[in-house]
Structure 1
């Protein structure tokens, strides 16, 4: 079975650029590069990955593309470009000449204006992505889920994927409002969901695999196995464990699924969504 990690990051640590790494995550305040990830993927029988932006600069996108040129296990890049720029189409046209760039992401979770994704300048950028065959990763917090049905319904031909289950309140055991909102998003068939980033939403030091099952069940019932994909969120996940522990959460759960369902979740959906 081909396994693709649909969500991980690389960076050269900078205390200003990466100020979002708080004291509770101090273990990841260092460089993380492909030579660090390669043996981990091999050890866990993962054949490739998608590198996702962690900084909102054009230099970040160039950095990830350069790494992919040097390491063939990086099968795709989700970069950043200013979707609100008046020159957005020119940027997308340029990036469309770089085959490894599969899509883009904006760190909506950090925006003071919680409905930034519905502002006219942002919508204009989103409206151009499909023209250049780009996907869009939706990085939000739970409170922003209510804006997503309107966003994705405006662009039914655009491929969207929710990162990290939209970060439900796993540590506090909160599920009801998130469940209602994620189910509404899942009604739109152009939206996928990454089962990723869960351990950092839990109690970092004391989580158990059972903590995640109710949330995974909601996502699987809402999206089906045809629109979900595995992601580690390495190296962020290292704040709450190691890569093997993270992938074990979903591998244990999916043992009861059919071989085809396992292949969809662990590889095929990511390959199809990102055109790897």
Structure 2
């Protein structure tokens, strides 16, 4: 099965989706399962993991409702306030939904580079393991140091890095990001998504050759059994289309064995998220 491990749905609201700046005008509209279903038919995708784009419990419920009505949505990564004193009760409530696989916090917008190491946040991370929930790490490269410390402190928690930690591909920055990605990959409880790369490059002028060194580092560091294909649809539309986004990964991994390609394009997502 080919599984898209990372995509979003939303009903567009200017205030709620203020992060869609003028460079992203093209995606200031609704994106719902009926839109994605057509895209998947064209691109031979069997299913997906829907990931939160808004930090509310209503967002989690919205995605679960869509997943219940659409079989191709195989899993949901929602949001809860991991810092809440009631986190155990909240997770206990959500543990009844079989398609809810894990949670994410938009750490990239947090001003404190050590946000993930605060005691209240770590208390929430500690609670995830009890319910077998995963955690998606959404950060910029300057937050990789904190992420490294987090995964070291929770060796039994399943973590996955979204968008290869958003390196500054457009500016050609590589070395600092690469060193920390190698360090974090040494922890076997950490996986990484080959996703969101074209939007960290120049939207209009990126080339596969420009992005390849970043993908190569991730492949060498994590190995074919801990990396997942993800489109980041509809955000990827800002820098191309779905087919180009998918081909960036499939062309890159074409040199690998058929088993390794199958793992990256779906098997690893099924295993990591228990789809």
Alignment of 1:132-147 (within 5 A): 132-147=131-146
Identify unmatched segments of 5+ residues in structure 2: none
Partner secondary structure for residue 39 of structure 1? helix
Following TM superposition, by how much is the alpha carbon of 1:148 offset from its aligned partner in structure 2, in angstroms? 1.2
Q: What is the CA-CA distance between 1:87 and the residue it aligns to?
A: 0.2
Equivalent residue, structure 1, for 2:214: 215
Q: CA deviation at 1:115?
A: 1.0
In the superposition, the TM-score normalised over structure 1's length comes to 0.99
CA distance in 2, matches of 1:78, 1:133: 13
**What CA distance in whole angstroms lies between the structure 2 residues aligned with 1:68 and 1:226?**
26
Could you tell me how far 1:170 is from its partner in structure 2? 0.5
Count of aligned positions: 275
Offset at 1:211?
A: 1.2
* Partner SS, residue 213 of structure 2: helix
Structure 1 residue 3, shift from structure 2 partner? 0.6
Deviations, residues 8-50 of structure 1 (Å, cap 9, x unaligned): 0000001111000110111000000000000101111110000
> Root-mean-square deviation (CA), in Å?
0.6
CA drift of 1:70 comes to 1.0
Q: Quote the offset at 1:189 in angstroms.
A: 0.5
Query: Is 1:5 aligned to residue 14 of structure 2?
Result: no
- TM-score, normalised to structure 2, is 0.99
CA distance in 1: counterparts of 2:42 and 2:255, whole angstroms: 23
Structure 2 match to 1:165: 164
Q: CA offsets per residue over residues 132-175 of structure 1, 9 Å max, x none?
A: 01000000011100111210011111000000000001101110
Deviation readout 1:32-91 (Å, 9 max, x if unpaired) = 000000010111111000000000000000000000111100000000000000000000
In 2, the alpha carbon distance for the partners of 1:65 and 1:32 equals 15
Structure 1: stretches of 5+ with no match in the other structure: none
Deviation (angstroms), 1:266: 0.4
Determine the C-alpha separation between the residues in 1 that align with 2:250 and 2:177. Answer: 24
